[in-house]
Chain A
Amino acid sequence: TQLLEQSPQFLSIQEGENLTVYCNSSSVFSSLQWYRQEPGEGPVLLVTVVTGGEVKKLKRLTFQFGDARKDSSLHITAAQPGDTGLYLCAGVGTSGTYKYIFGTGTRLKVLA
């Protein structure tokens, strides 16, 4: 069974701090996505990474796909209260049922 483990599970930081969220698996993924979800709303796609080692930037958010395509990270620089939410990684594995799998989630709270 392919799993995506995210860490940390919860994170509470002050405005202006930097943070990194990790998404790890023992399996290879053909692509990985990161989503942000606010309470009661649907997840919103932030980015897709496809190539091993790929780095993408979205304003203060930097996403990286591991060289072996088994892990990914999301780094936020100078976090703001508007970054508060549930961050989910997700992807399609390259073996087994090729199912779309969601990570366990990281709940971020940025305090003003």
Chain B
Amino acid sequence: EAQVTQNPRYLITVTGKKLTVTCSQNMNHEYMSWYRQDPGLGLRQIYYSMNVEVTDKGDVPEGYKVSRKEKRNFPLILESPSPNQTSLYFCASSLRQGYYGYTFGSGTRLTVV
């Protein structure tokens, strides 16, 4: 089944404790992206990658890091999480930067206390 897999689904952590949210897709998509979704603010892009070893900032990149060492994986790293990073996070992939639409993961609900 074609899908984007995110882990974990839920995460509660403390301020400053580094964490990684994993994302993997099995569709051979070149384009991958991370979004956060907050009430009243919609989906905001954090980082995106157009191909292996090519990443770029989205609209809200502060406090996040990404890497794209393999085509299928695109982990999101929070080096020192803060409470304002409490949010619902989605990884998504696309054949061609959204032209045909995105396939989204099921989401990671992160709470930073």
Contact = CB atoms under 8 A, between A and B. Distances in A.
Does A pair with B?
A: yes
B96 to A, nearest CB: 9
Given A45-B103, A102-B43, A105-B42, A40 B88 contact: yes
Interface stretch (A63-71, A76-84, A90-98): A90-98
A104 B107 contact: no
A45 B98 contact: no
Contacts of A43: 43, 90, 102, 104
A96 B102 CA distance: 21
Give the size category of B's interface with A.
Answer: 20 to 34
Nearest to B89: A42
B65 interface: no
A41 B99 contact: no
A42 B25 CA distance: 14
Contacts, number: 50
A100 B101 CA distance: 9
Interface string B96-113: 011111111111010000
Given A40-B107, A42-B107, A45-B102, A92 B88 contact: no
A11 interface: no
A30 B99 CA distance: 8
B90 A42 contact: yes
Main secondary structure of the interface of A (DSSP, over half): strand
A21 B57 CA distance: 32
Contacts of B88: 40
Interface of B: 4, 33, 42-43, 45, 88, 90, 92, 94, 97-107, 109
Contacts of B106: 41-42
Contacts of A102: 42-43
4 smallest beta-carbon distances between A and B, as pairs: A42-B104, A100-B98, A33-B101, A45-B101
A24 interface: no
Contacts of B4: 42
A1 B113 CA distance: 35
Contacts of A88: 43
B42 A98 contact: no
Contacts of A42: 4, 90, 92, 104-107
